Structure 1
Amino acid sequence: MDTEAQHMERDRSSAPADGPEEGSRSTHVPDRPAGSMSWGRTVLLGMLCTTALLLFSTFVLQPFLIPSGSMQPTLRVGDRVLVNKLAYRFGSEPGRGDVVVFDGTGSFVQEDESGENAVGALLHGAAASLGLVEPAGSDFVKRVVGVGGDRVVCCDKRGRLEVNGAPVTEEYLHPGDRPSEVAFDIVVPDDRLWVMGDHRSNSRDSRDHLGEPGGGMVPVERVIGRVDWLGWPLGRLGSLEGTDAFTGLRPTDHG
């Protein structure tokens, strides 16, 4: 009988029957509780979703909570609208009749009027960008009535607003309101906008800043976006109704 084969047979038989082989030994690691792993994943998923929403809101479509009745009946207090931030990104500019959200710093409010600290402003801005709280005190929603070069006058003998000599029938005005209780005759500088609320008797707009630096004109670069849709309440869900009040007006007095 082969001696080497006998030795190999004895070696195998001498090993413990229930003991592990040398190469298969391992250290046991206790499993993590399933609950803690699930909680961690939930938190991570929530952070990723919030970040994605903030980015989408910053660059594409921002919810905006309507804080006042200055745009009634078009927009009501508590409405949540969706502001299209791409509307004026590719060469287009705000047009007459557009309902826009803009930063009124330097035109409607002074540069130093914000008393909020940096951290508070950041948190409030994040919540406002998701439509969870009222917008910053420097953000406004109004309707564009005049663009650069336009001559806007109120009112003519029949009590109507005029743009470049043509009367405007403003069907969007709040019932019972006149186009303006304050008379004005202005020419809008280039790259500026003359904006007014639809509830003229309850709106602080360009008319209220005529005697201030800038004359109530909003720089086009300060426009955040155009209000294109109503997102809440569900009964009013849909696109914002447009207006043909300014259809047929010549572009500007220079045209």
Structure 2
Amino acid sequence: MSGTRRTDEGHGRLGSKLSGLAVALGCVLFLGGFAWGAVVYQPYTVPTDSMSPTIVGGDRVLAERIDGSDIQRGDVVVFKQASWGNLPMVKRVVAVGGDTVACCTQGKLTVNGKKIEEPYLPKGTEAESSTIPSIEVPENRLFLLGDERSGSLDSTAHLTEAGNGTVPRSAVNARVDAVAWPMNGMLARPTGFETLGDISEPGPLRLVLTAVVAGVVLVLGGAAYGPIAKRAGRRRDRTGAKERALAG
């Protein structure tokens, strides 16, 4: 009996150590994931439906802090431009410096003469409600449109300004990766622009969420070990007492 008791106690000590290790590792992952997310991402509330149906007014989005030089065609970006009101705005980049953009050819936007498939547009709508003349985007500037083309105050509303409605890359603060509320998840990749060159890869949001969720699981699992182990110990004691009583 004494040998069995020592073995159980050894298992208990080992379990307690593993439980503590799980809680400590869980705290590191949970807090580290949140800290990582806070450094890399910034939340924004989108005030209008100009990006509907991708993002609608009142949605809370997570945008990766990124340098404007890293922006690619198809990215949904957060930017501020003085001539546009100098307030944070969310639009989609459809052309970059050196591109020629126009609309519409058979109801589709064209960039460098290629028709762009835009599955993110509202169902049954064409790429633009009015004509976009052929515009060559100046170097280091971006041409931006809302996904809800008929009601978006985007580059088409600023064609008479210097740069033909484009904004400098330096005006971009972040790139939207996901809609956090309601929980619509990661934005679909803009594959319609792949024929023109590289498109952006998603940021580390999935890794951040994985770290946070793993941390929660480890903390809860480690914290639950103590009560579960005590309950199991009491059950073993009762079982042992019954066996001894029967044996006696």
Structure 1 unaligned regions, length at least 5: 1-51, 110-136
Asked if 1:224 is matched to 2:173, the reply is: yes
Aligned partner of 2:191 among 223, 232, 244: 244
Asked if 1:179 is matched to 2:122, the reply is: no
Q: How many residues align?
A: 164
| Worse-matched range after superposition: 213-222 or 68-77 | 213-222
Question: 1:60, CA displacement in angstroms?
Answer: 2.8
Q: Is the 8 A contact 1:177 1:201 kept in 2?
A: no
CA distance in 1, matches of 2:70, 2:50: 23
Q: Is the 8 A contact 1:177 1:199 kept in 2?
A: no
**Aligned residues with identical type, % of pairs:** 44
Corresponding residue for residue 92 of structure 2: 143
Letter of the 1:81 counterpart: V
Asked if 1:96 is matched to 2:96, the reply is: no
Normalised to the residue count of structure 1, the TM-score between the two structures is 0.59
Corresponding residue for residue 107 of structure 2: 159
Question: 1:63, CA displacement in angstroms?
Answer: 0.5
Letter of the 2:195 counterpart: G
Question: 1:243, CA displacement in angstroms?
Answer: 1.6
Corresponding residue for residue 45 of structure 2: 65
Corresponding residue for residue 213 of structure 2: none
1:250 to 1:226, Cα distance in 2 relative to 1, 3 A:
closer
Corresponding residue for residue 142 of structure 2: 193
Structure 2 unaligned regions, length at least 5: 1-33, 199-248
1:250 to 1:165, Cα distance in 2 relative to 1, 3 A:
farther
Moved over 2 A (4+): none
Q: Is the 8 A contact 2:107 2:127 kept in 1?
A: yes
Aligned partner of 2:62 among 82, 102, 126: 82
**2:196 aligned counterpart, secondary structure:** coil
Q: Is the 8 A contact 2:43 2:60 kept in 1?
A: yes
1:199 to 1:164, Cα distance in 2 relative to 1, 3 A:
same
CA distance in 1, matches of 2:163, 2:100: 16
Question: 1:181, CA displacement in angstroms?
Answer: 2.3
Larger CA Rg, structure 1 vs 2:
1
**Higher RCO, 1 or 2 (CA under 8 Å, sep at least 6)?**
2
RMSD: 2.3
Letter of the 2:64 counterpart: N
Q: Is the 8 A contact 2:138 2:163 kept in 1?
A: no
More helix by share: 2
Question: 1:250, CA displacement in angstroms?
Answer: 5.3
